[in-house]
Amino acid sequence: MRNHLKNLTLFLKGANFYRGIRLTSSILLPLILLYFLGYFQFAPAIVVGIFLNAPSDIPGSLKRKVNAILISIGLTVLITAIVLFLKPFFPLLILAITIISFAISLISVYGFRASLVSFSGLLAMVLAFAAEKTTHTDILLHLALISIGGLWYLCISYIFQLLVPKKDETQLLSDTLNLIGEYLNLRARLLTKKSKREALTQQAFLLQTQINEKHETLREVFHSERKKSGRSHYDEKQLLIFISSINIFELIEAKQLDYKELDRLFSDRKHYLRPAKKLNKILGNHLIRLSELLIQNKKIPNKNPLLKSLAKAKKIISIYVEDITLPKAREGALALQNLYDYQEQLLAEIRSIRRVMANVKDASSVSLKRQDASQFLTLQEYHPNVLIQNLSFKAPLFRHALRITVALVFAFVLGTILDIQNTYWILLTIIVIMRPNYGLTKERSKNRIIGTFIGATVAICIVLITQNVIIYSVLAIISLTLAFALMQQNYKSAAALITINVIFIYSIITPNALQVIQYRVIDTVIGASISIFANYLLWPSWEVNNLKHVLLEALQKNKTYLLATKDLYHNKTNNQLAYKIARKESFLAISNLNAAFQRLTQDPKSKQKEFQLIYNLTTLNQTMISATASIGSFILNHKTTPPSKEFDAVIDRVINTLQMSRAILQNVPPNTLKDAIPIDDAQKNLQNAFYDLGVKRDKNIKKGNIEINTKTLHQLQEAYLITSQLNWLKTLSENLKKATIRYNKIINEDNI
């Protein structure tokens, strides 16, 4: 019960519920005002204008938000005008629907915010069919009122932004910390759950993608804030938490462990890994709790459980050495020590977040160069070339535009022939449900139908119990607010609440509410069915065929990141910024690859060709980036020795192998570079360097020098980590090349 109350409190205090209140308020205020002024007949068109232009109001920079809403207003008014003026001319209307549907759908090539403007345009076309306007005067008045509604919503959104300017940022930060906490918990399970690693790894792909998306939005928000004349203390706190969240995520990514190696070292000694596993869970749960406290503004929890768990993870290293004894215990001890160092760094970042949230004075200032920060932004390109490049049958969004156009035209013609009462409900269902890939369309269709049935059932029960208009009005307002609040979190519940809202509004207008319910359910089922069949039959975009360009990008960013890590090792002072930018871009590239793999899992089983091969390609790319991050993280956080020529030789070999994999995918002859020194000799020399340090340490132990000094420990850690990770990277790159050859062969055979 307590947990449910906590979740309810978080929901009511969160930005999603606040967004629902904002939209409901923008609708109710003109309704009430126009009612008392005696101009209520103008209210429906204004409400339509609000509905049409609200989708573009998403978290991000205020400038982009305002621009998106203004573009949306202009687009929706233009489309509404075209449809209303062409209604009497059926052939021209069909032509207009075709052109509008295709052209507006293609706007989505310019990113997520543009896709919402595209949705508003399609929504305007659909809702125009519901408007009974016959004369030019009525049409022009309707267009003017829609414009007023859009501008009114823009004003309301701006006022709410002024009243609570940091609501969206706080929610984004909270969601990010929560996701990272879940990711840490999942990584804890990966440590010892050998039989479940494949399933857990697939879950990790999804979490990585979600975290990267949150970070990208937050980068945009904070960069826009930095352009203002100054930042408040609260801004500084938010920025510090954001930076720590990035550091934590990148530390986690840097510790993508070689689980086969851990299984070898601790195959029958899993109990030595349990303190590290427990610490990961405690750290993850603590982050989740901090994410909740960002919304609740309550006292932060005690740090003692964190410190005690860290001490146990430290102590287990000594116990392991005592039990196994040196030199046999050296590899395992160094593996545990590296794991401990990583978790200690995680705890340091979490404690930084704690200090910021506790308003500790020395944690309230941060300074970043504006020109440096701007380089971390992934800017959306709005050049016409982006659209031109997507005017190809090979482009998934081009095929989606064709698909949704055919589906909408078919549904409209079908509704006209069968004289369906509310054809626009079918069209509305199609534009809400249809997505570029089959899996998401199917999932949304299922949720939409189930939600509609649930909403209809609830509404029927209430309508049968009472015919009180006041109750209908109150429930319509509540359901509308909750529907908008849950739209992104739980689409099934949102669909149920929207159905309840529509039915109660019709119940107020007309006494025949049960007939409305019947039509609502039937039209939803028809629209959902058309969406699913269109996605499956009309130029389907199966993810297995769209993966090639995502793989090419991941390989390129992997290579660039590895090269930046090499440069960092040579000169830490001058190359940190370039390294961090390369790291960020590689994480985004692998996030896109992970997202593509997730879409593949949603396709029909019969279309998931070579699923295991693609899973291996995704995992190998992910693991390579993590292995590179592990080297980079160690270099950044420790004083290192000068890099050897053997280090450079192995790195160059791995980079060359990655380049060969790209060439294979591009069907061009690979360019093989000659090794500076024989690669086997380089690996052997690196291994000998680590062995020599071990021998030296063993001699000191025999002399009675049991305690190891920090310098010697770091040298051993560096030699062990660099040697093991380089050997691992070389093996991974070779396996990746083999998998790429197999994948490219399959793709080429399919294209013959």
Counts for the chain of helices (H) and strands (E), in that order: 28, 0
pLDDT bin (cut points 50, 70, 90) of residue 382 is: low
Angle made by CA atoms 584, 175, 496, in degrees to the nearest 5: 125
Predicted pLDDT at 368: 44
pLDDT bin (cut points 50, 70, 90) of residue 225 is: low
Strands (DSSP E) found in 54-167:
none
Amino acid letter, residue 366:
V
Please indicate whether residue 154 or residue 650 has the higher confidence score (pLDDT): 154
Compute the average pLDDT of residues 535-558. 84
308-365 pLDDT tens trace: 988 988 888 888 888 877 777 777 887 788 788 888 888 888 988 888 888 755 444 4
pLDDT at 508 exceeding the cut of 50: yes
- Rounded Cα–Cα distance for residues 563 and 652 (Å): 8
Predicted pLDDT at 371: 43
Please indicate whether residue 483 or residue 708 has the higher confidence score (pLDDT): 483
Pair 544, 572: CB distance under 8 Å: no
pLDDT bin (cut points 50, 70, 90) of residue 681 is: low
531-541 pLDDT tens trace: 888 888 888 87
Predicted pLDDT at 1: 66
Measuring CA to CA, which residue among 456, 525, 447 is closest to residue 491? Answer: 447
pLDDT at 208 exceeding the cut of 80: yes
DSSP assignment of 296-322, as one string?
Answer: H--PPPPSHHHHHHHHHHHHHHHHHHH
Compute the average pLDDT of residues 662-684. 72
Q: pTM of the predicted model, to two decimals?
A: 0.81
End-to-end Cα separation, the chain, in angstroms = 60
Cis bond leading into 301, ω under 30°? no
Residue identified by tokens 């002859």 is 669
Structure token pair of residue 61: 């920079």
Pair 241, 176: CB distance under 8 Å: no
Assign residue 437 a region (left: φ > 0; alpha: ψ between -120 and 50; beta: otherwise).
beta
As a whole number, the mean pLDDT across the chain is: 81
Predicted pLDDT at 229: 43
Predicted pLDDT at 367: 44
pLDDT at 248 exceeding the cut of 60: yes
pLDDT at 750 exceeding the cut of 70: no
456-484 pLDDT tens trace: 888 888 878 877 778 878 888 888 888 88
pLDDT above 90 covers what percent of the chain? Answer: 12
pLDDT at 455 exceeding the cut of 70: yes
CATH superfamily, domain at 543-751 = Phosphate transport system protein phou homolog 2; domain 2 (1.20.58.220)
Predicted pLDDT at 181: 92
Instruction: Please name the residues in contact with 649: beta carbons below 8 A apart, sequence gap of 6 or more.
Output: 675, 676, 677, 679, 682
Pair 184, 284: CB distance under 8 Å: yes
314-330 pLDDT tens trace: 888 888 888 877 777 77
